[in-house]
Amino acid sequence: MIWPFILLIGAAWLLQSILGYLQIKHFNKKYAELRKIGRVAIGKKTGMFRAGTVVMFAIDRNANILKSAKMQGVTVFSKVKKLKGFEGKNLLKISENEFNRVDKLTSLAIKDAMRSYHIISQGGELKPKKTWIERLIPSKN
């Protein structure tokens, strides 16, 4: 009785791995398309039990947005889609009005892209954010 359950768990894990691989492959393809246009600023807002969001902006030397895209969802079926309404705007000068046109997670991901771009353009380094497990169990450092 236990073997069918173990096989089911193994098959589910394998299917999830394959679908995750395909999702990453799709994301990398879209990133490469944006990279051909210009530099790419990426922002993300992860959700533990809700949809995560990743935004990508292809920008020119003056941080003007040439093309934008986002991936949002909780499953491996999430795909990168066009993020409308930001082309032609300056990444560092996006107004609150623009943030109000998108959902909260997308807004936070855009703000993360702005912050990341600002740090990198000033010659700084992005520090990895702590995962929820790292926040739950503090390190001894």
pLDDT in tens, 110-132: 999 999 999 888 888 888 877 77
Domain housing 31: 2-127
Predicted confidence at residue 64, as pLDDT, reads 95
The closest of 11, 33, 64, 42 to 113, measured between CA atoms, is 42
Stretch 6-25: mean pLDDT, rounded? 93
Asked whether residue 138 is domain-assigned, the answer is: no
pLDDT tens figures, 60-84: 999 999 999 999 988 888 899 999 9
Residue 132 lies in a domain: no
Global pTM?
0.82
**Contact present, 39 and 31 (Cβ < 8 Å):** no
Does 57 reside within a domain?
Answer: yes
Interior angle at CA 57, CA 53 and CA 63, nearest 5: 140
CATH number, domain with residue 7: 3.90.1010
Residue 141 forms part of a structural domain: no
Beta strand spans in 1-141 (E) = 39-45, 52-59, 65-73, 80-82
Report if residue 136 sits inside a domain.
no
CA distances from 102 to 53, 83, 85, 92 (A): 12, 9, 10, 17
Tell me the pLDDT band of 141, cut-offs 50, 70 and 90: low
The tally of domains found in the chain comes to: 1
- Judge whether 41 lies within some domain: yes
**Is residue 108 included in any domain, yes or no?**
yes
